[in-house]
Amino acid sequence: MASFFKHHWFVCFLIGLFAMGYHQSQVFRPILEWQIARDAIVFFVMWAMGFTLPAAQFRDSLRDPKPALLAISINTLIVPLLVLPCYYWLPTDFFGGLFVSAIVPSTLASASVWTRRAGGNDSVSMMTTVVTNLGCVVVVPLGIWLVLEQQAQLDPWLQVTKLTILVVIPLVLSQIMRHLGAGAWADRHKSGFGLATQFGILAMVFWGSISSSVVPSDGTASPTGELGPVSLLVICVSFIHSVALWLGIILARRAKLLPRNQIAVGFAGSQKTLMIGLQIAIECGVSVLPMIVYHVGQLLIDTVVADRWKQKYSDP
């Protein structure tokens, strides 16, 4: 039991905090008023993630940009398109949350970790995560305006400004600090930064669980506690992530990319960042559960794929 918790403590805390925040939302409701604190957590997590990204590896992707461009296209265009049919199957609150999951960028952390685990080219995943995170300033407000306009009454220009402050500025600031000589210090303390970002994400999960319970977007009871809609959500999320993953690998193979680039395209193209997804879901007033399910699902599915890929292919 202790060994299980040691290796899976993050998922255990994630599930526990979500359940506590959702079922005790009336007790914790005042926390929703602490918007400045929530924004500060997002800013710090994005800065910490960017601070541990070595910019030197981006040069490898610039020499051969095709794998990264393919992954960026899948992450930005294909995944949102795969979500649209779910409008007819999922409750409104779940569909809104799932679409938010689809339009947020690739994750800054796990895409590279799982790519390395599979013996892939992590410079492709790093380039994909940086470009999609910078591009989310345009992609996220545009997606909300096109699909969730009736469900989420948000000012697109205000969202552009907010995402610039919370995503672009901390990423740029972190890379400037690395360029000025702090990179070696950041690399030595990478595990500490990783732990801090995980606690930041858990705080956002707790925030989002409270929001999902007490502020349903359509004025009706939230479907979060109902087994049928939740089961359907899990099926939809697993299908969407798996299709995006294998589509990335197949298209990369058709483009005659090396296996190490194929798996990088698959992971970076299909994975989504939990941190920005939680922030946007809370802002839109939709359920955060789809983003949490997507995150847990991609960790489980990609772990199996990475280990099998490592066994099948040697690193060229």
Where residue 12 sits, what CATH number does that domain have?
Answer: 1.20.1530.20
Cβ neighbourhood burial of 173 (10 Å; 0-12, 13-18, 19+): middle
Contact 93, 225 (CB under 8 A): no
* Count of domains observed in the chain: 1
Contact 108, 49 (CB under 8 A): yes
Among candidate residues 46, 49, 200, the one with its CA nearest the CA of residue 137: 46
At residue 217, the pLDDT reads 44
- Give the list of residues 6+ apart from residue 153 with CB closer than 8 angstroms, or none: none
Give the residue numbers spanning the domain of 115: 2-312
Q: Residue with structure tokens 């349903």? A: 216
Supply 88's token pair. 């007819």
Predicted structure pTM score: 0.81
In terms of average pLDDT, the best of 94-108, 165-179, 195-209, 220-234 is: 94-108
Supply 24's token pair. 């005790």
Q: CA 125 to CA 131: how far, in whole Å?
A: 10
For the chain, first and last CA: distance in Å? 39
Q: Which of 45-59, 135-149, 157-171, 281-295 shows the lowest per-residue confidence on average (mean pLDDT)? A: 45-59
